[in-house]
Amino acid sequence: MAVGFHFNTIDQREPSSDTGSAPWHDPRVVAHFIEETEVVGIGSHRNKLMNWLVKRPSNRTVITVVSIGGVGKTTLVKKVYYNEKVVAHFNCRAWIIVSKSYKMEELFRNMIKQFYEARKESAPKEINTMEEVKLIEVLQPYLLEQRYVVVFDDLWDIEFWEHIKLALPNNDKGSGIVITTQNEDVAPTHNESSLCYVHKHLPLTSDKALELFYKKVFQAKEGNCPRELVEPSCKIVGRCEGLPLTIVVIGVLLSSKDKVVSEWSKFYDSLSLELDTNLRLRSILKILSLSYHDLPYYLKACFLYLGMFPEDYSINCARLIRLSIAEGFVKEKQGLTLEELAQAYLNQLIHRSLVQVVKIDVVGKIDFVEFMIYHVRSFFQGQRS
């Protein structure tokens, strides 16, 4: 069965540095320092994003990379952003971490400084005291003359794009904007521009997950796993559900342990306890909990209800909608039937990368879905304990 994460023990607020609490080091920061040789399974995705950015018409391109936390959105985009072809193609660039608690003025100042720095120029000193409107007035004319690229990493706010696009002109020079998010609803759509693309980044396949695990655990042996440890490795990696973040953190932890079957079997048997008590592994729970806590209240019950279904189970959407209504998760709303509202709830979970579409019927309607097991099992157990 899946790992029993206990999310009821995790603070629902943003990580803080309050006195007396252990400092929380966001493992997503590591993505900026991962060597190319350590990354697996993203080559084709990287090339696709690069082609969208540098081989398109002169209109501005907007790319949104969507996935659940820990799948590797930031790592993928980082490999695009720092690629020599991309660096050479654009006149100036900026990488902006947005997250949940952002201030627009600070983001604009950061952008201006990075754009000027990329061109080896000094940013105007007066931007340090400017408010939002004045900062836009500085940014717009500057970017009109540049082929720029900017990354907005870890975007949650649906209204963010409406604010930020005012400062990023479509200057017919082939500029690019890249967004990483867990919620597809924050992405610009084709209704706004034909050059708006969405890339859904999925968990690693079993073979790629093992390859990454071996690279982290057996670095001294160039990723070669001893024969006697293949079976326990497969069992441990199977519990990671294809999440690179989880694989890397557990792999680094095991790299310091004795490479013997008994030691690894003991680790596997105590993995749930390790996740709850080991400070390194708790960072995984912090990342994964963000997706649940960002849900509106009416979706949390619907999401937890998915934990009632068996593991690796494809759910018929019509059945799921009927059950959601029968359980009372869907309340009446003027202008919509209960079935339409339940379908809208399901669509929101799909857009937030918490549910995956596995089958579409002949008329293009979603027929079957699967929930993200490492999330639902975790919250289902934790929230009811």
pLDDT (tens digit per residue) in 181-231: 988 888 776 666 668 899 988 888 889 999 989 988 887 677 788 999 999
* Integer Cα distance of 249 and 208 in angstroms: 16
120 band by pLDDT with thresholds 50, 70 and 90: very high
Same-domain pairing of 161 and 242: no
In this predicted structure, what is the pLDDT of residue 350? Answer: 79
In whole angstroms, give the CA distance from residue 377 to residue 334: 33
Question: Residues 6 or more apart from 8 whose CB is under 8 A from it?
Answer: 382, 383, 385
pLDDT of residue 23: 43
Residue 356, domain extent: 297-383
Distances (CA, A) of 189 to 185, 196, 295, 299: 9, 6, 22, 23
Q: Judge if 312 and 273 occupy the same domain.
A: no
Q: Is residue 2 part of a domain?
A: no
> Within a domain: residue 30?
no
Does one domain contain both 222 and 315? no
| pLDDT at residue 11 greater than cutoff 60 | no
Q: What is the CATH number of the domain that holds 279?
A: 1.10.8
User: CB neighbours (10 Å) of residue 99?
Assistant: 14
The whole-number pLDDT of residue 172 equals: 86
Same-domain status, 333 and 218: no
Q: What is the pLDDT of residue 359?
A: 67
DSSP string, 141-168: HHHHTS-EEEEEEEE--TTHHHHHGGGS
Statement to judge: residues 196 and 327 lie in one domain: no
Q: How many domains does the chain have?
A: 3
Banded model confidence at residue 318, pLDDT cuts 50, 70, 90: confident
Domain end call among 227, 261, 290: 290
**Is residue 16 included in any domain, yes or no?**
no
Please tell me whether residues 157 and 122 are part of one structural domain: yes
Residue 273 shares a structural domain with residue 215: yes
Q: What is the pLDDT of residue 178?
A: 96
Residues with Cβ within 8 Å of 1's Cβ and at least 6 positions away in sequence, in order, are 311, 377
| CA dihedral angle for residue 206, residue 211, residue 217, residue 218, rounded to 10 degrees | 140
CB environment 304-320: b (16+ within 10 A), e (fewer): bbbbebeeeeebebeeb
- Is the CB of residue 342 less than 8 Å from the CB of residue 270? no
State what percent of residues in the chain have pLDDT above 70.
73
For 228-277, write each residue's pLDDT tens digit.
999 999 988 888 878 887 888 788 788 878 888 998 888 888 776 666 66
**Segment among 105-109, 198-202, 297-301, 359-363 with least mean pLDDT:** 359-363
Report if residue 36 sits inside a domain. Answer: no
